[in-house]
């Protein structure tokens, strides 16, 4: 036989503890009240006796359980640190951790890391290139983020690679030299380029390019509110021209997470179809992008830009590229 001891504020609670551990297979040997130092209260302590085999079985299990719990905590902590150190926010990770439905995942650091990566993989949505029919692709975003450069790359991809009839539309009327930048690209590729100075002109110029499959619209220097106004103005014209319009927000990979979210929020009323991340060549740390995508799980990524060179520095397989780049730093 072996002895075991339980303590609690009342004898009933101490007895209950013994009962929940051993069932009814024990005998009470003693009970006493011990005064708690510097207090009027007591702690009740009971001693019981149980069969040796049952004692060993229960206590071994308890030690194993405690060890497991400690091991799990260590696994979780070291796995999470990997992600925190790469710029993933605590709340993003908590969102992922809350999806864990089996202890197996917590049994090793590697399994937990693999689980988090696979959840990130599931979170990243890609926007497939669907260019059936007539489409207008508009790039919006802050100045200098890489809209014009990306438009030139896309123009080359669609016109030369896919043999689409492409036209470039320039609403880039504030930035000095911007018109020339896009018209030079257009000229080199032999693509129609139309520059407009006022938003009203957009609809009238649309008539002139009806034979084109794809119109890429550059918008530097125009506020999101003006773009919204423009879209509302041309909605009717677009439907009669059978053009579908896709608005893509261009964001720089070098911007920190809070700023990405702020910029996104200031453009989000435009009914964004996708985001494009640029300047991926300028950073090895894309935690901010991953965070952004975890926080905006319905926002697909259509393209990535990883350099200044037109037309080559563009990535179509966005999910693979982002995951490879992120996992590469782990």
Ligand X SMILES: Nc1nc2c(ncn2[C@@H]2O[C@H](COP(=O)(O)OP(=O)(O)O)[C@@H](O)[C@H]2O)c(=O)[nH]1
Contact positions vs ligand X (CB under 6 A) = 141, 143-149, 220, 278-279, 281-282, 305-308, 313
**How many residues sit in the footprint of Mg ion (CB under 5 A)?**
5
Residues 6+ apart with CB under 8 A from 41: 9, 35
For ligand X, the closer CB: 93 or 253: 253
Query: Where is 118: in which H helix or E strand?
Result: helix 109-123
Residues 6+ apart with CB under 8 A from 330: 82, 86, 113, 117
**How far apart (Å, rounded) are the C-alpha atoms in residues 312 and 181?**
17
Asked if 278 interacts with Mg ion (CB under 5 A), we say no
Residue pointed to by tokens 């925190």: 84
For ligand X, the closer CB: 135 or 148: 148
**Nearest approach, Cβ of residue 151 and Mg ion (Å):** 8
For Mg ion, the closer CB: 166 or 178: 178
**Nearest approach, Cβ of residue 328 and Mg ion (Å):** 31
**Nearest approach, Cβ of residue 222 and ligand X (Å):** 11
Q: Is 101 helix (H, G, I), strand (E, B) or coil?
A: coil
For ligand X, the closer CB: 135 or 305: 305
For Mg ion, the closer CB: 72 or 183: 183
Contact string 210-249 vs Mg ion (x = CB under 5 A): ----------x-----------------------------
Partner that binds at residue 302, options ligand X, Mg ion, none, CB closer than 5 to 8 Å by kind:
none
Q: Whose CA is closest to 152, among 283, 301, 314, 281?
A: 314
**How far apart (Å, rounded) are the C-alpha atoms in residues 275 and 250?**
6
Q: Is 190 exposed, middle or buried (0-12, 13-18, 19+ CB in 10 A)?
A: exposed
Contact residues toward Mg ion (CB under 5 A) are 147-148, 172, 178, 220
């Amino acid at each position: 036989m072996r002895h075991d001891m339980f303590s609690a504020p009342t004898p009933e609670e101490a007895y209950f503890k013994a009962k929940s551990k051993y069932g009814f297979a024990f005998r009470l040997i003693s009970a006493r009240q011990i005064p708690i130092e510097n207090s009027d209260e007591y702690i009740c302590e009971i001693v019981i006796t149980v069969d040796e085999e049952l004692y060993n079985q229960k206590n071994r299990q308890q030690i194993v359980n405690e060890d497991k719990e400690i091991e799990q905590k260590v696994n979780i902590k070291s796995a999470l640190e990997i992600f925190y150190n790469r710029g993933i926010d605590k709340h993003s990770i908590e969102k992922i951790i809350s999806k864990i439905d089996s202890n197996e995942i917590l049994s090793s650091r590697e399994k937990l890391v693999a689980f988090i990566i696979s959840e990130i993989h599931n979170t990243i949505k890609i926007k497939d290139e669907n260019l059936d029919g007539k489409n207008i692709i508009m790039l919006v975003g802050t100045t200098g983020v890489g809209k014009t450069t990306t438009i030139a790359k896309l123009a080359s991809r669609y016109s030369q690679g896919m043999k689409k009839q492409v036209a470039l539309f320039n609403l880039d009327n504030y930035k000095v030299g911007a018109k020339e930048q896009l018209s030079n690209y257009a000229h080199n590729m032999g693509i129609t380029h139309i520059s407009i100075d006022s938003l009203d002109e957009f609809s009238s110029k649309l008539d002139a390019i009806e034979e084109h499959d794809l119109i890429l619209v550059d918008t530097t220097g125009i506020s999101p509110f003006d773009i919204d106004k423009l879209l509302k103005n041309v909605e009717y014209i677009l439907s009669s021209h059978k053009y579908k319009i896709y608005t893509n927000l261009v964001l720089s990979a070098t911007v920190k997470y809070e700023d990405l979210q702020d910029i996104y929020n200031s453009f989000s009323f435009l009914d964004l179809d996708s985001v494009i991340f640029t300047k991926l060549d300028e950073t090895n740390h894309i935690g901010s992008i991953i965070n952004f995508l975890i926080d905006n799980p319905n926002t697909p990524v259509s393209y990535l830009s990883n350099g200044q060179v037109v037309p080559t520095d563009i990535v179509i397989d966005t999910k693979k590229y982002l995951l490879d780049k992120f996992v590469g730093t782990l």
